[in-house]
Structure 1
């Protein structure tokens, strides 16, 4: 299985808070809304998820396919596009409109995170010596993502923020992302190649290169 099912007697709240986020770190900001809309239409059309969010103004769409729930433990899905939000439409569905809080930063909000330099592989976390460049890059990303660069304190190389990867899978930036609510899908990291590939393909990650972030909603 792609996830570890909860043991009998495990608190359901713990599982409901677990989230797996797939982040496209390469897509351009201008293409993110189209990617999210395309996946929305496919998932709704295939009967995987509801056409309407759980609540007006919410980003979660309830999963309807019992087999999908059984195989993944995922009970709701959010589709994120930087600078956009979901709005109900007259056709009993939803569509993306400009505005909203989506900024393309995905991380654990209940703890810190660390990232690895793409050049020398040294790790860097907020609060570390030399992490001021990371703090500045995060601020710049929200307004001008193409200008968000981080200087590695170890090798002094400047690299684009989206190229830095998290060894603990607790951080990534990208303009399009998919949040899966209900479980930490550790199988996406390896060991369940067929199931992981099938799920990635179903979610539009045909190249299998979306970054994986584990968090709690």
Structure 2
């Protein structure tokens, strides 16, 4: 679908609620003619929906709309950890358990990523060094990466995991260790074709953020830019 994408990851929602919520999100996007279900592409168990050719970008004041630049975006994916999309004979989409589905880990695959403790806000890196690592010994960097690898492996296998911060010694769920290059969660929407910052999304995709986070809970939606 292209080298660039942006993950919008719900880091608060439980898996049971994700299973209930994702079909409602998909149904609304189809009914509002935002995505085109008839032109869906499937990669593994991920259904990638192109934007509907008649979709017009809503303005923030809801008074007017503007043309949507289809050339910038390849499509949209709605992912639930451990599940993929199926379609019945009537063309209706439903979730089905799948071993080929997303594992609920969303990260920058271009060399590495960093994570940030939700309590002391210090960062640890995985794959490549971040600025904070310059003052750390090789043994400490290796110990941090081993801890991250172990926590991610447990999440991958069990769907629940905690990571203890090397700095403040606080243990937190892996979902709370979000940064601009990493997030974990049971529900995510992927925009294919571009990398966006949170500010970009607030300006251009406020309707999507409102759909995912109607109560505007702080830090609920992690935004991860990725190059695959």
The normalised TM-score by structure 1 is 0.81
Matches within 5 A, 1:40-55: 40-52=26-38, 53-55=40-42
Q: Which residue matches 2:118?
A: 118
* Cα pair 1:25 1:210 within 8 Å, conserved: yes
Report the RMSD for the aligned CA atoms in angstroms: 2.4
For 1:94-137, what per-residue CA distance to the aligned partner results, in whole angstroms no more than 9, with x for missing partners? 22111232211001122200011112111111262322221111
The normalised TM-score by structure 2 is 0.77
Q: Secondary structure at the match of 1:125?
A: strand
Aligned-partner Cα distance in 2 for 1:211–1:151: 20
**Structure 1 pair 162/109, CA: closer, same or farther in 2 (3 Å)?**
same
Aligned-partner Cα distance in 1 for 2:187–2:163: 21
Q: Which runs of 5+ in 1 are unaligned?
A: 1-12
Partner residue of 2:193 out of 182, 195, 199: 182
Q: Which residue matches 2:175?
A: 162
Q: Which residue matches 2:104?
A: 104
Aligned-partner Cα distance in 2 for 1:152–1:104: 21
Q: Which residue matches 1:139?
A: 153
Q: Secondary structure at the match of 1:49?
A: coil
Partner residue of 1:198 out of 190, 199, 207: 207
Q: Which residue matches 2:137?
A: none
Q: Which residue matches 1:67?
A: 56
Aligned-partner Cα distance in 2 for 1:20–1:55: 18
Q: Secondary structure at the match of 1:141?
A: helix
Q: Which residue matches 2:16?
A: 30
Q: Which runs of 5+ in 2 are unaligned?
A: 58-67, 128-140
